[in-house]
């Protein structure tokens, strides 16, 4: 026992920030786990050890209590305290698994578990996980010229928001601090259904609205409730990388469908194999920006009705239209309840808000309410209540109106800069709406390379390449103007223009 | 054309809250969609129609603009405005799919889509979706005696929180309003890693911490990144319904593993087939409350090392231990980086907060940061910043300390009430820690029935039955005391006791 107390005395540092109690506990545990204190060893009495170490006996008693509470030692009243035998008992660890197991999946799992890292078919990660990471589109930077899809958060009326928030925290009932009931905060759902009816011609009651944390969660929920692993989904080609990732993470096979000037344009061969669902952006194709024509909308709805296809309408930024008024939603045309409408407030207010919504057919509303609560355990009712007041007091619509003007001006400034530099050499696509447009590049140049070079020069854009699932049909850069102050647009574009000239037209940088 | 303007005049209501512009637009669209205005029909000039309806010509012009923007009409300068042909072109809708499709999955999808609702193998919902809903454990009520697992949100220092929040909204940089970088707000991750090192003996750096919206999202992320559809996972029997749902929603097969007084206790047959992952609650088995012994911990870690099993340690409420100090985490014992540690602040502060965290092995940290951003597009940085200050200023630890005392008293009051009513007839399990304990019921009585009867009498409990995947081994009620004010405990238990006496011992209600 002398050895133990000597060793402990040597290790203990009474001047250390770590309290002596924790030091002693850690050291004793270490001694037991490493075998320095063998199973069955009797520990010195608390009085003895305290004396040897020159510390309070209470400290030792507390450590012994904790050691026995955690199962390191066994105390038998009267006869003292002994080190417990906690060595992994080799029998319990069990034999190495053999591939001879009831069913294939198990066998392969067992093999995977058995194989050495090198031989291991996938190692640490799952196949779907590896794919998710390999194909991840999310970018490290979330702010700056010309980051697409990001609103100008600096323009958000933070004071107003903060005022509503403080008032609510003073007065609100405690229920708002518990989990959310499926579907979310009722007054917010009412406010949203009114807003969507007027602004987006969505036909819905508050009951049909499910509050989510955004479009990703909305799609994830719809996919898990409505489609199974191995089912097929139509996605627009090109389409939003995030939606692709969410679908694939749930085992959905993607069928890329071409888009033309009128939007989604399925081929004969596509139509012959109805998918389980179709993910579309009718108001403003993402990322190219065309509007799905009424004829195509009605054709798609009819096809969905005939073949029981679920349509997920992603209506991510249609509030920002610079020419005509916002277009009516596809959901508003749907007579046969095949459309799940998903939207978000992130682009209207600020992305970090993480509030999205989905509008589901009435017969599915209860199911989706249960599903969202069961899968994600939602909460954030305080924030939902603040948001509800923000909307009901008219701040949302006035903010959107202000931003539409502001973004419209920035869009024009950027287009002017493009024209000044390149004339008609680089056409602009999808500038009628949204927070970005596509700056077309000559077919011979690699938009990924241009993007990387621009990034090094301090300008963020996204290459059209990363939105294609199959062969890239068009070259171009997603160029966002919404979050760039007027005065920064021209200088930032000068930088981008130099990069483009160098790569697209082989000019040397000035 | 007279017919049109007459019909419109009959429908238009100038005193309606809906602006005349919107009414006219809606009516014209309706007329076109229903065929009342056939394709090719020439619309009256704006002047004529305005005259017929006695409204401003500008209104009509706006409606015509919008109709052509949405593709309802075609305007040819000079020759006027015609109704466009937007009827679904039957060719485009395509032939009914045949089952003769390249591969099985497609065929079945096609069949599903083809079949009539009655014949349809699953109809609206997916198999996994239907199962999720059928087996959903989430309850409508989230508050009241004796709701298990819910802290007393009324005790949360809302004023302090609100003060920190207001200060931050005044001063904070705009970056906090954008999307979160993978992993979450850096200072919060630092604060949490310090907290977890001290409070839970978790070994980690801030880099290893990933902020999530809670334990559901943490498990969902780990499962998708580390396990594939069809892989097997060990779950404790009984275990938390929510974890079960999340695993199954990602196609994981569940292998229920018995627990005894020392926690997880796999049988020979279990050990022979190593799973891809094991989900455990070592500090406080959920729902039964036993602590996994050190011997079992070391055995599990050794087994995981040998067979490359991922261990998910769900450490959901171990801060609340009423006898000994909180136990060390399993992660802290892990030498071979097989443990993913998940926890949440919901039970420490308030459930609606939706902030959880996971601690992942260093080599996986970057992967998980990308994964969480790609799948969920996180944000809420403002709230994370408030939380970071809340923790760094010491409010978290002092609140937890206060609540531990408070919950300890309530637990005692409830135990006293149980003993007063039933003596030793109804033993109490797992009362050393947490926010609930299990009130055992005689084997002959159905705890689901008792739960339903209690609910009707105004008392919430959860039946042990709903936590078993296989055959129910024990009968009992999860009884939460944390969110029940001292003075309500006895009266509420009197009510519950009457229900129990009636069902468990056949006594008539007093």
Residue bearing the bigger pLDDT, B506 or B266: B266
Omega into B146 within 30° of 0, i.e. cis? Answer: yes
**How many whole angstroms separate alpha carbon A87 and alpha carbon B294?**
9
Please check whether residue A259 is in contact with residue A288, taking contact to mean a CB–CB distance below 8 angstroms: yes
A257 close to B (CB below 8 A): no
**B292 falls in which pLDDT band (50, 70, 90)?**
very high
Helix (H, G, I), strand (E, B) or coil at A340: strand
In the prediction, which pLDDT does B413 show?
97
Is the domain of B352 the same as that of B489?
Answer: no
Q: What does the mean pLDDT of chain B come to?
A: 87
A346/B373 CB distance under 8 A = no
Is the domain of A415 the same as that of A446?
Answer: yes
**A52 in a domain, yes or no?**
yes
**B319 falls in which pLDDT band (50, 70, 90)?**
confident
Full-model pTM: 0.84
Average pLDDT score over residue span B438-458: 94
**How many whole angstroms separate alpha carbon A65 and alpha carbon A52?**
19
Q: Which ranges in A202-293 belong to alpha helices (H)?
A: 215-226, 241-249, 268-271
Residue A163 exposed, middle or buried by CB count within 10 Å (0-12, 13-18, 19+): middle
**How many whole angstroms separate alpha carbon B227 and alpha carbon A129?**
8
Average pLDDT score over residue span A123-129: 86
**A89 falls in which pLDDT band (50, 70, 90)?**
low
Residue bearing the bigger pLDDT, B468 or A3: B468
Q: Tokens standing for B159?
A: 């004023």
B333-375: per-residue pLDDT in tens? 999 999 999 999 999 999 999 999 999 999 999 999 999 999 9
Of A251, A306, A374, the CB nearest to B93: A306
Q: Domain count of chain B?
A: 3
Among the ranges given (A141-150, A369-378, B70-79, B284-293), the one the predictor scored with the smallest mean pLDDT:
B70-79
In the prediction, which pLDDT does A104 show?
35
Q: Kindly report the nearest CA distance between residue B442 and chain A, in angstroms.
A: 30
Strands B310-314 and B232-237, sheet pairing: unpaired
Helix, strand, coil shares of chain B, percent, nearest 5, are 45, 15, 40
Omega into A287 within 30° of 0, i.e. cis? Answer: yes
Choose one of A341, A359, A393: the last residue of a domain.
A393
Residues of B in contact with A369 (CB under 8 A): none
A73 close to B (CB below 8 A): no
CATH classification at residue A49:
1.10.10.10
**How many whole angstroms separate alpha carbon B233 and alpha carbon B469?**
13
Q: Kindly report the nearest CA distance between residue A483 and chain B, in angstroms.
A: 11
Q: Kindly report the nearest CA distance between residue A419 and chain B, in angstroms.
A: 26
In the prediction, which pLDDT does A192 show?
95
**How many whole angstroms separate alpha carbon A212 and alpha carbon A341?**
12
Choose one of B48, B83, B118: the last residue of a domain.
B83
B101 close to A (CB below 8 A): yes
Choose one of B36, B57, B83: the last residue of a domain.
B83
Q: Tokens standing for B324?
A: 């000994």
Q: Which long-range contacts (CB under 8 A, 24 or more apart) does A414-420 make?
A: A414/A146, A414/A479, A414/A481, A414/A484, A414/A489, A414/A493, A417/A489, A417/A490, A417/A493, A417/A494, A417/A497, A418/A493
Q: Which ranges in A180-229 belong to alpha helices (H)?
A: 186-200, 215-226
**A343 in a domain, yes or no?**
yes
Is the domain of B246 the same as that of B287?
Answer: yes
What would the DSSP string read from start to end of B19-39?
-HHHHHHHHHHHHHHTTSS-T
Residues of A in contact with B380 (CB under 8 A): 352-354
Please check whether residue B52 is in contact with residue B5, taking contact to mean a CB–CB distance below 8 angstroms: yes
The rounded percent of chain B whose pLDDT value lies above 70 is 91
CATH classification at residue B474:
3.90.1150.10
**B98 falls in which pLDDT band (50, 70, 90)?**
very low
CB interface of B with A, residues 264-283, below 8 Å:
266, 268, 271-276
Please check whether residue B428 is in contact with residue B413, taking contact to mean a CB–CB distance below 8 angstroms: no
Please check whether residue A226 is in contact with residue B129, taking contact to mean a CB–CB distance below 8 angstroms: yes
Q: Which ranges in B185-293 belong to alpha helices (H)?
A: 186-200, 215-226, 241-249, 268-271
The rounded percent of chain A whose pLDDT value lies above 90 is 62
Is the domain of A167 the same as that of A311?
Answer: yes
A445 close to B (CB below 8 A): no
Domain span at residue A36 reads: 1-83
To probe the interface with B, which of A23, A34, A67, A88 has the most B CB atoms within 10 Å? A88
**B290 in a domain, yes or no?**
yes
B249/A327 CB distance under 8 A = no
Please check whether residue A341 is in contact with residue B146, taking contact to mean a CB–CB distance below 8 angstroms: no
Helix (H, G, I), strand (E, B) or coil at A138: coil
**How many whole angstroms separate alpha carbon B412 and alpha carbon B40?**
81
**B330 in a domain, yes or no?**
yes
CATH classification at residue B169:
3.40.640.10
Q: Which ranges in A283-351 belong to alpha helices (H)?
A: 294-307
B180 close to A (CB below 8 A): yes
**A207 in a domain, yes or no?**
yes
CB interface of B with A, residues 7-66, below 8 Å:
29, 33, 65-66
Is the domain of B62 the same as that of B161?
Answer: no
B229 close to A (CB below 8 A): yes
Is the domain of B293 the same as that of B420?
Answer: no
**A119 in a domain, yes or no?**
no
Among the ranges given (A177-181, A322-326, B278-282, B316-320), the one the predictor scored with the smallest mean pLDDT:
A322-326
Helix (H, G, I), strand (E, B) or coil at B339: strand
Helix (H, G, I), strand (E, B) or coil at B328: coil
Please check whether residue B462 is in contact with residue B477, taking contact to mean a CB–CB distance below 8 angstroms: yes
Nearest CA in chain B to A199: B22
Is the pLDDT confidence value at A134 over 50? yes
Nearest CA in chain B to A65: B324
Angle at A45 between CA A40 and CA A50, to 5 degrees: 130
Please check whether residue B301 is in contact with residue B330, taking contact to mean a CB–CB distance below 8 angstroms: yes
**How many whole angstroms separate alpha carbon A390 and alpha carbon A108?**
54
Report how many Cβ contacts below 8 Å link chain A to chain B. Answer: 394
What would the DSSP string read from start to end of B391-443?
HHTTHHHHHHHHHHHHHHHHHHHHHHHHHHHHTTSS-EES-SBSSEEEEE--T
**B324 falls in which pLDDT band (50, 70, 90)?**
low
CB interface of B with A, residues 323-382, below 8 Å:
323-325, 327-328, 333, 346, 350-354, 363-364, 367, 370-371, 373-382
In the prediction, which pLDDT does A326 show?
65
Q: What does the mean pLDDT of chain A come to?
A: 87
A352/B303 CB distance under 8 A = no
**How many whole angstroms separate alpha carbon B199 and alpha carbon B327?**
9
Query: How many residues in total does chain B contain?
Result: 510
To probe the interface with B, which of A106, A130, A157, A339 has the most B CB atoms within 10 Å? A106
Is the domain of A224 the same as that of A373?
Answer: yes
Is the domain of A440 the same as that of A318?
Answer: no
């Amino acid at each position: 026992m002398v050895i133990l107390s000597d060793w402990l005395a040597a290790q203990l540092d009474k001047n250390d920030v770590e309290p002596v109690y924790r030091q002693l506990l850690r050291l004793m545990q270490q001694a037991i786990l490493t075998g320095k204190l063998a199973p069955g060893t009797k520990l010195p009495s608390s009085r003895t050890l305290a004396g040897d170490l020159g510390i309070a006996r209470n400290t030792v008693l507390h450590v012994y209590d904790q050691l026995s509470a955690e199962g390191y030692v066994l105390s038998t009243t009267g006869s003292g305290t002994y080190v417990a035998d906690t060595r992994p008992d080799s029998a319990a660890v069990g034999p190495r698994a053999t591939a001879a197991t009831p069913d294939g999946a198990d066998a392969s799992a067992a093999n995977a578990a058995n194989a050495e890292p090198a031989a291991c078919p996938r190692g640490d990660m799952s196949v779907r996980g590896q794919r998710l990471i390999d194909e991840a589109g999310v970018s490290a930077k979330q702010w700056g010229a010309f980051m697409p899809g990001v609103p100008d958060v600096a323009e958000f009326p933070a004071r107003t928001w903060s005022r509503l928030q403080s008032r609510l925290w003073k007065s609100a009932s405690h229920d708002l601090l518990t989990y959310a009931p499926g579907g979310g905060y009722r007054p917010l759902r009412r406010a949203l259904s009114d807003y969507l009816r007027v602004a987006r011609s969505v036909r819905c009651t508050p009951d049909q609205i499910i509050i989510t944390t955004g479009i990703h969660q909305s799609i994830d929920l719809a996919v898990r409730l409505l489609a199974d692993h191995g089912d097929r989904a139509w996605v627009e080609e090109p389409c939003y990388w995030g939606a692709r990732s969410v679908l694939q993470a749930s085992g959905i096979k993607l069928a890329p469908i071409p888009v033309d000037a009128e939007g989604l344009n399925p081929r004969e061969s596509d139509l012959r194999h109805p998918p389980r669902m179709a993910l579309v952006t009718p108001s403003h194709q993402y990322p190219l920006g065309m509007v799905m024509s009424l004829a195509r909308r009605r054709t798609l709805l009819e096809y969905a009705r005939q073949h029981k296809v679920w349509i997920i309408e992603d209506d991510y930024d249609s509030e920002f239209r610079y020419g005509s008024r916002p277009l009516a939603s596809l959901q508003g045309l749907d007579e046969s309840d095949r459309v799940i409408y998903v939207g978000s407030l992130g682009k209207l207010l600020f992305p970090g808000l993480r509030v999205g919504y989905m509008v589901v057919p009435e017969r599915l509303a209860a199911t989706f309410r249960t599903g969202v609560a069961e899968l994600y355990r939602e909460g954030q009712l305080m924030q939902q209540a603040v948001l509800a007041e923000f909307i009901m007091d008219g701040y949302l619509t006035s903010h959107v109106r202000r931003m539409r003007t502001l973004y419209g001006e920035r869009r024009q400034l950027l287009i002017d800069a493009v024209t000044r530099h390149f004339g008609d050499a680089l056409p602009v696509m999808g500038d009628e709406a949204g927070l970005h447009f596509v700056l077309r590049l000559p077919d011979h140049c690699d938009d990924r390379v241009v993007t990387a070079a621009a990034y090094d020069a301090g300008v963020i854009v996204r290459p059209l390449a990363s939105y294609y699932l199959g062969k890239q049909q068009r070259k171009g850069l997603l160029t966002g103007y919404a979050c760039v102050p007027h005065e920064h647009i021209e200088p930032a574009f000068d930088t981008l223009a130099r990069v483009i000239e160098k790569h697209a037209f082989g000019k040397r940088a000035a």
